[in-house]
Structure 1
Amino acid sequence: MPHLSQDLSKQISRFVRAAPAELVAAVAAIIEQTSTDDWPYFQMQVLQAVPQPQLRNQLKFLLQSWQNITPGLMPESVALALRAAGETESSLLHSGGQTTLVWTGPDSHQHTLRRTDQALLQIINSAKRNLLVVSFAVYNIANIRQALVEAAGRGVEIRICIEAPEPSAGKITFNTLKALGTRVAEQATVYVWPAAQRPHNSEGKHGSLHVKCAVADERLLFISSANLTEYALTLNMELGVLIKGGSLPAKVFAHFEEMIKQQILIPV
């Protein structure tokens, strides 16, 4: 009897890390209940369960690995592997937390690190209730914009905190709100740090909103040096951490929520 190949196991792990638990369970159920005799139809039925394009592509790679390497593997075995991986991921989220390094830049060939854009998309795609995104700069991020629009379509409450030209007194010169795109700006609540709320030094210079982070459902936290820009997500050297579970995601979310309540951050 065929066993899970190493490649298929990796594809299952990648999909489960990126997808919400409910979606993993739904995909496992469809795989288990649908005949593989007509593979194109089977693949279509499975992929239709995943609305997010990035997750659908990951699932497509999973199915291709299954079909190309171990076509004789029973659907029940793949469904069981998905559920087992999902249970492991869920237990990590409810334990003390798991920390993963995230990197943009040259490959050292010493360690396999998560890419910055992948980690951020995972945060956005996994959100079911609320999503907080904070960045200094925003520019040319089509795939991130689309993921945010899709999150809003799922009913996720989205809060975005950004630096802007006016309160920053020219520290940032382009319109970050415009860079988010009309659809994101309409479906999310966007906050800025007003100049009147910023501390000043003896020379009259004030602080900047220089945080880069994202929190999904108070259970996933991404902290990075990377801004929401194409270069930061694909070309620069940027380093961050993705934290699953534990107390830190909820603490960061609560901290920003309190600043919003105190009007340290105000809606645009």
Structure 2
Amino acid sequence: MSRAEFEAAAAEAVAVLGPAQTKDLAGQLAEGRSREYILHAVRMRTAGPTVHRLLNAVDLAGIPAGEVAMYLRGFAAAWTRQRELTEVQPVWSGPPTPGVPVRSTAQVLVSVVGQATTEVLAMTYSAAAYKPLTAALRAAAERGVGVDIVVETIQGAGGLLTGPEPARAFSELAGFTTVRLWHWPLDQREERGARQHAKILVVDRQVLFLGSANLTASGARHNIEAGVLIRGGTAPARSAEHVRELQRRGVLRPLK
């Protein structure tokens, strides 16, 4: 494994752990703690696999523990600085307004997925195959990016959705082991009639697209839909963490 692969694993660990736990991890490595001790000390269950991958990368690259600790502290400092810089842009679908600087939903969906290096999380109410987005997701999966998509189901929508299951919009991605579809089972809904109505896209816990558009051609291009694209700050990571915790608790479950 190359040093570049180690650095990618370290960057992922910092994004998942956050600065405080990253500094704890760096201290444990500097003190020569064992793999078992470190993995046991990780307080976030969802971070365990990420730290495990990092430790494997360290072993394969043969990097001394002290040097790894310095890398992690440096990454944590840079990550903290990056999170302090937040950029928010308006995003719209539908008729353009020449001269007004807003980005289109269709452009944002494809370009943001195209930038993914580790993780794509998406949630949508309805979904229909939209070729540019499907192609971007396929390319991400081919790069080894983990893709998790939460959809509503016909049953869950209680008659408010018609036609094929929304999950069928992503059938072309079925052969990729890094792509997983999720749903909100009826037995996890406290109120009858509750819907999975969120529409978000989170990439690498650094970029968040939040808006009214479903993952359909109509939502991306034809309807008048509004949203915001957020780069930096805490919102992308917190949104991803919320979805991951819902998955861990079984509120969201794999769609089979």
State the TM-score, normalized to the length of structure 2.
Answer: 0.64
Matches within 5 A, 1:124-135: 124-135=113-124
What residue number does 2:75 align with?
none
User: Does residue 231 in structure 1 map to residue 218 in structure 2?
Assistant: yes
Alpha carbons of structure 1 residues 185 and 170: separation in structure 2 relative to 1, 3 Å: farther
| Equivalent position amino acid for 2:213 in 1 | A
Q: C-alpha separation between the residues in 1 aligned to 2:97 and 2:220?
A: 18
What residue number does 1:190 align with?
181
* 3-state SS of paired residue (1:180): helix
Q: C-alpha separation between the residues in 2 aligned to 1:266 and 1:161?
A: 9
What residue number does 2:32 align with?
none
Superimposed CA distance per residue, residues 83-137 of structure 1 (whole angstroms, 9 cap, x where no aligned partner): xxxxxxx999543310000011223345121000111112211110111011001
Q: C-alpha separation between the residues in 2 aligned to 1:184 and 1:148?
A: 11
Conservation of the 8 A alpha-carbon contact between 2:89 and 2:230: yes
Q: Choose which of 203, 206, 231 in structure 2 pairs with 1:219.
A: 206
**Count of residue pairs brought into register by the alignment:** 176
What residue number does 1:257 align with?
244
Q: C-alpha separation between the residues in 2 aligned to 1:93 and 1:131?
A: 19
| Equivalent position amino acid for 1:232 in 2 | G
1:231 deviation in Å? 1.1
What residue number does 1:113 align with?
102
Q: C-alpha separation between the residues in 2 aligned to 1:253 and 1:220?
A: 10
Superimposed CA distance per residue, residues 205-259 of structure 1 (whole angstroms, 9 cap, x where no aligned partner): 4211110000011000000100011111111100000000111000000000000
Identity of aligned residues (%): 29
Alpha carbons of structure 1 residues 249 and 178: separation in structure 2 relative to 1, 3 Å: same
What residue number does 1:122 align with?
111
| Equivalent position amino acid for 2:92 in 1 | W
What is the RMSD of the two structures over their aligned residues, measured on CA atoms?
2.1
Matches within 5 A, 1:47-86: none
Q: C-alpha separation between the residues in 2 aligned to 1:103 and 1:185?
A: 32
1:170 deviation in Å? 2.6
User: Does residue 207 in structure 1 map to residue 194 in structure 2?
Assistant: yes
* 3-state SS of paired residue (1:211): coil
Q: Choose which of 140, 143, 154 in structure 1 pairs with 2:132.
A: 143
Alpha carbons of structure 1 residues 151 and 247: separation in structure 2 relative to 1, 3 Å: same
Conservation of the 8 A alpha-carbon contact between 1:177 and 1:185: no
